[in-house]
Amino acid sequence: MIKIYAFCRMHIRKQSENKSLKTKYEEAVESFSKVLKLNPFSLDAYIGRGNAYLEYGHSKGTRQALKDFLTAVHINPVCIKARLCLGYSLQALGKFQKAWTQFSAAIHCDPSCHNAYDGRAIVCLQMGDIFAAFQDTNAALKITTNAELLTNRGVINQFMGYLNCAMHDYQQAITKDPSYALAYFNAANVYFVNKQFSQANDYYTKAIELDPQNESAFLNRAITNTLLRNFEEAKTDFEKAISLSPLSAAIYFNKANLYSMLQQYEQAEEDISKALSIQPYDALLYKLRADIRGKMGLIKEAIADYKKAISIQELINSN
């Protein structure tokens, strides 16, 4: 149940947990608002305030940002910066077709804008048009070459099943920028899929060194260490992943698998029960808990879990 990221973009950033940082963005909003009172047609102020709203990290802030970017576009329809920001905001709200339109408009205004092609590629991928995403990423790479674009093309190649091409892109990205953590992470995922677990472990380690807040890298390395039978290292990685993402059912599921393998069934049941408390309608989780409870001799409870797993699966199949 390894977790593989497709795109990891930071155009719409997560809300900071640092209270002082949030205050900083609130102050920025106030400052830009003062500018707009003096000059209601300031494009930079609308775009600046919109980006500050995005930093709030919640849907209300994104909707406020959307209003500012729309106003900027109305003031100047050929403002590329406003079009891009509007596209990213619409994407964050799940309005992919409208986001696609804005990125396309930016490309029409400036065919050399690689960010517009890149943004549209991501939206195409989210809408399931993989080939269009591939074309747009290639178009962006003809304009400029950087680690992010190479990594994005690698992900698209992965989606299309071209793992060798994906790995080539990731390695090129690493050569271009040895500090780009996502390239190592995605290359590690390819090694994992190819069952090259030692190489995968090395690359996850490098990704963690560069981005120690990436809980998915810790999770995937924990799974890899489990397969390599590095059990103590796997335990440490699972605990670190949980500390970074305590509401991830996937982490508890895989941790339960580890402890079940080690025949430490009480700990395994505790972890899988935690996963179910987070994700209560997952047949696979009930199936694993049933297996664990059966090994613990809790036959009645195990049968109840098997029945629950079957009823959930039947409900899914009927839909």
**For 128-176, how does the pLDDT look when each residue is reduced to its tens digit (9 = 90+)?**
999 999 999 999 999 999 999 999 999 999 999 999 999 999 999 999 9
Burial per residue of 26-40, b for 16 or more beta-carbon CB atoms within 10 angstroms, e otherwise: eebbeebeeebeeee
In the chain, which stretches have pLDDT less than 70?
1-22, 57
b/e map of 284-293 (b: 16 or more CB within 10 Å)? ebbbbbbbbb
Cβ distance 100 to 65 under 8 Å? no
Q: Are 292 and 275 in contact (CB under 8 A)?
A: no
- Furthest-apart CA atoms within the chain: distance in Å: 74
Measure the CA dihedral 16/21/22/23, to 10°.
170
Say how many C-beta atoms besides its own lie within 10 A of residue 100's C-beta: 22
CB 208 within 8 Å of CB 217:
yes
Residue written as token pair 């690698």: 154
Residue at 270: amino acid letter? E
* Helix boundaries (H) for the chain: 19-38, 43-54, 59-75, 80-92, 96-109, 114-126, 130-143, 147-159, 163-176, 181-193, 197-210, 215-227, 231-244, 249-261, 265-278, 283-295, 299-318
**Residue 282 to residues 4, 108, 285, 288, Cα–Cα distance (Å):** 19, 45, 6, 10
Report the distance separating Cα 314 and Cα 319, nearest Å: 9
State the amino acid at position 215 in one-letter form: E
CA dihedral 132, 135, 137, 143 (to 10 degrees): -140
